[in-house]
Structure 1
Amino acid sequence: MKVGIMGGTFDPIHIGHMIAAQCAYEQAGLSEVWFMPTNVPPHKQQATMASSGQRWEMVCRAVEGQPHFRPFDFELKKGGISYTFDTISLLLKEYPGIHFYYIIGADMVQFLPKWYKIGELAKLISFIGLQRPGYTPGMEQLPESLRDAVELATMPLIELSSTSIRQRKSEGRTIRHLVPDRVHEYIEESGCYGP
C-alpha cells in the first residue's frame, strides 16, 4: 500500500493543499493521502493562530466525503516538536505494510539535505516534490541517494498560503473559495481568525 503524507500546520488548510494532495495521489498512484497536522514544526518559531483542536477540526472538515483522503492526528497526539524522521520511524512500526511518500513543494526539494537525519529518512520513505509551472526544483544539486528518493509531480500554479488567508481575514476581506466550504463555515462560526 502506498500512502502519501501531507504534513503542515494547516493554519488554515486551504484549496492549495487539497489540489497538491490530489495531484500527488493521481500522479504517484497512491492508495490514500493522510493529512497530518504538525504539533510544533521545527522550522517555524511563531505559534499557530488557531489551536491544535481548531486546526484538527478544519482538516477533518476539509477531507470529509473524500474516500482517498483521511485526517490523521498522529503528531498532535504525540506532542512536542514534529521531526519527520521521528514520526516516520514510529509510523513504520505501527503500519509495517505501508510505503510512505512525504508530499512537499518543489521549493522544499533543495532544502532536503538540511532535514533532520535526512540520510536515514531517505532510506525509509520516498518524497513527492510538487512542481509548479516555471519552477525548477534543483534535483541535480541533491546527493544521488536523495535524488533517488524523490519523485516529481506537477500541479497548477496557485499563489496561496495560510499566511495570506489569515491576512485577508484580519483585513475583513472574504476567504470564501480559498478554503474548502466546510472549513470556511467553521472559520466564520468559531471566529478563530478574528471577526
Structure 2
Amino acid sequence: MEQVTLEAIPQVQVAPVQTRRRQRIGLYGGTFNPVHTAHLMVADQVGHALRLNRVDFLPDAVPPHVDKKTAIDATDRVAMLRLAIQDNPLFGLELAEIQRGGVSYTYETVKQLKEAHPENDYYFIIGGDMVDYLPKWYRINDLLKIVNFVAVRRPGAKNESQYPVIWVDVPEVQIASSDIRQRVAQGESIRYLVPTRVEQYIKEHDLYHGRN
C-alpha cells in the first residue's frame, strides 16, 4: 500500500472570517438651520461621556415638526455641517434622511441604518425638551427596540421619562438656530455663535438675509 505523507496532501488556504467590530455610534438629528456652537458642544460632550466611537450628525430632509418655510435647501445645510465638523475626528456625517427625501421619521432612519450596519449600536441624541414628546414619536415602541435614547438635560424641561433614556449632563449653552437667523436678517453679529467657517459660508452665499 502506498504511503501518503502530509507533505503530499495539498494545503488549502482558508481565508479568515471577516467579522466587523461592534461600534457605538451616536446619531444627532436635526434641521441644523444653521448648525451652531451648542450643537457641536453637545455632540462632543455626549460622545466622550458615553465613549462613543463616532457621533454622526443626521440632517433631515423634511422634518415633521418644523415649518418647512424656515428651512433653507439641504445642500447649504449639509455644506455648513461639513465645514463645522471637519476639525473633530469624533464627528461624522450621516446623509440617510437627505438621500431618502420626504418627511424624516427616526424609526425609518434607524431601521435602515441597522439593516446596513448590524454591527453598530446606535445612540440617538435629543434634548431634554424633546423627551417630553417621545410618546408622540412615530412607532416609538418599535424604535426603542433598535436604538438607545440619550437625552441632554435642559432647563425648564421635566428631564424625566417613562421610557429608558440615558441622561447626560452638559454645560448649559443656550443658542438657537432661529436666533441666529434673526440676527443675520437684522445685520447683527453671529461671531462665536457659529464656527468661523459657517459664518463665512452664510455671508458668501447670502443666507438668511431678510427672513428668520
User: Quick check: 42-51 or 86-95, which moved more?
Assistant: 42-51
Counterpart of 1:104 in 2: which secondary structure?
strand
Query: Is residue 97 of structure 2 the alignment partner of residue 82 of structure 1?
Result: no
Q: Contact 2:24 / 2:122 at 8 angstroms: preserved in 1? A: yes
Structure 1 segment 47-86 matched on structure 2, within 5 A: 47-86=69-108
Distance in 1 between the 2:134 and 2:158 partners? 15
Counterpart of 1:47 in 2: which secondary structure?
helix
Give how far 1:132 is off.
3.4
Distance in 2 between the 1:6 and 1:97 partners? 19
User: Quick check: 67-76 or 96-105, which moved more?
Assistant: 67-76
Counterpart of 1:6 in 2: which secondary structure?
strand
Query: Is residue 203 of structure 2 the alignment partner of residue 188 of structure 1?
Result: yes
Task: Output the amino acid matched with 1:162.
Answer: S
Distance in 2 between the 1:131 and 1:46 partners? 27
Q: Which residue of 2 aligns with 1:175?
A: 190
TM-score by length of 1: 0.92
Distance in 1 between the 2:154 and 2:137 partners? 22
**Largest Rg, 1 or 2:** 2
Q: Which residue of 2 aligns with 1:159?
A: 174
Q: Contact 2:26 / 2:52 at 8 angstroms: preserved in 1? A: yes
Distance in 2 between the 1:120 and 1:6 partners? 19
| Alignment RMSD | 1.4
List gaps (5 residues or longer) in structure 1.
none
Q: Deviations over 1:174-193 (max 9, x none)?
A: 11110011111111111111
Structure 1 segment 60-139 matched on structure 2, within 5 A: 60-132=82-154, 136-139=158-161
Distance in 2 between the 1:114 and 1:135 partners? 16
Q: Deviations over 1:49-101 (max 9, x none)?
A: 42110001001001012111012211111101000000111111111100000
Q: Contact 1:132 / 1:155 at 8 angstroms: preserved in 2? A: no
Task: Output the amino acid matched with 1:40.
Answer: V
Task: Output the amino acid matched with 1:90.
Answer: Q
Distance in 1 between the 2:35 and 2:176 partners? 9
Distance in 2 between the 1:160 and 1:73 partners? 24
Distance in 2 between the 1:162 and 1:134 partners? 19
TM-score by length of 2: 0.85
